[in-house]
Amino acid sequence: MMKIDVVTLFPEMFDGPLGHSIVKRAIEKDIVEVNKVNFRQFGKGKHQVVDDTPYGGGAGMLLKPEPLFEAMDSINERDPETKKRVILMDPAGKPFNQAMAEDFSEEEHLVFLCGHYEGYDERIRSLVTDEVSLGDYVLTGGELAAMVMIDATVRLLPEVLGNASSAQTDSHSSGLLEHPHYTRPAEYKGMKVPEVLMNGNHGLIEAWRHEESLKRTFERRPDMLESYDLSDRDKSLIEKWQNEADETGE
């Protein structure tokens, strides 16, 4: 069973997202255990202070080192045997992607450190194995980023998804964006399901799906093709679509 700890000032924020859908089922099936550690309890003084002004001056407040170090101590005391991967939510960190989610899903114990205020005392980084960003923008705190990363990671764990192949065929998992999907009815308001999906020929269906994935990636995320191992047919298709785009001026 994977263990996840979320170190945060706002543990109640996780009750909703982690109490529904796939993550909830994973918890109920004992595939993953999620603990929330409010590091306010390790704050100093009557008001349990966890932040202070920066040395040298400057705007905003910084998280003090003691509460987060002590929060990590409490996690290690509770689970002394597990090897922990400690992930700091940081807008200056490495951008989160599907490959990182797959990497995280192989771990025994993940700890997400969620910051707030202006930033962290630099010494906190000595606790950390990974510094990760959700994107090139700044959030009020690290909680939303941690929720996204937890969801993306947990759904990859064995037996979490109903269909074992679902995670493998998701957009980004294969290196391409996912192909279009259709369900009943076969025609709606003049829009028909492609005939190839209804002919029962699985070889043709897989070929169609691959071509549509390739085309969608070419049109929407051509940067992904730079790291994808293109076949000769893939290259011919891309050349064809590029010529068509050049002719239409798109």
Q: Binding site annotation covers 134?
A: yes
Q: Binding site annotation covers 228?
A: no
The Cα-based distances of 31 to 2, 100, 160, 176, 207 in angstroms read 6, 20, 8, 28, 35
Tokens encoding 112: 């997400």
Cα separation, 195 vs 97, whole angstroms: 34
Non-local (6+) Cβ contacts of 98 within 8 A are 152, 170, 172, 173
Cα separation, 123 vs 62, whole angstroms: 11
Tokens encoding 175: 């290196």
Say whether 12 is catalytic. Answer: no
Say whether 246 is catalytic. Answer: no
Q: Binding site annotation covers 88?
A: no
Q: Binding site annotation covers 135?
A: yes
Q: Binding site annotation covers 137?
A: yes
Task: Pick the catalytic residue from 170, 178, 211, 234.
Answer: 170
Task: Pick the catalytic residue from 33, 66, 103, 118.
Answer: 118
Q: Binding site annotation covers 37?
A: no
Strands 119-120 and 109-113, by their bridges, are unpaired
Say whether 234 is catalytic. Answer: no
Q: Binding site annotation covers 139?
A: yes
Say whether 5 is catalytic. Answer: no
Task: Pick the catalytic residue from 91, 121, 216, 234.
Answer: 91
Cβ–Cβ contacts within 10 Å for residue 74, how many? 16
Please report, in range form, the residues annotated as the binding site for S-adenosyl-L-methionine: 115, 134-139
Please report, in range form, the residues annotated as the binding site: 115, 134-139
Provide the annotated active-site residues: 91, 118, 155, 170
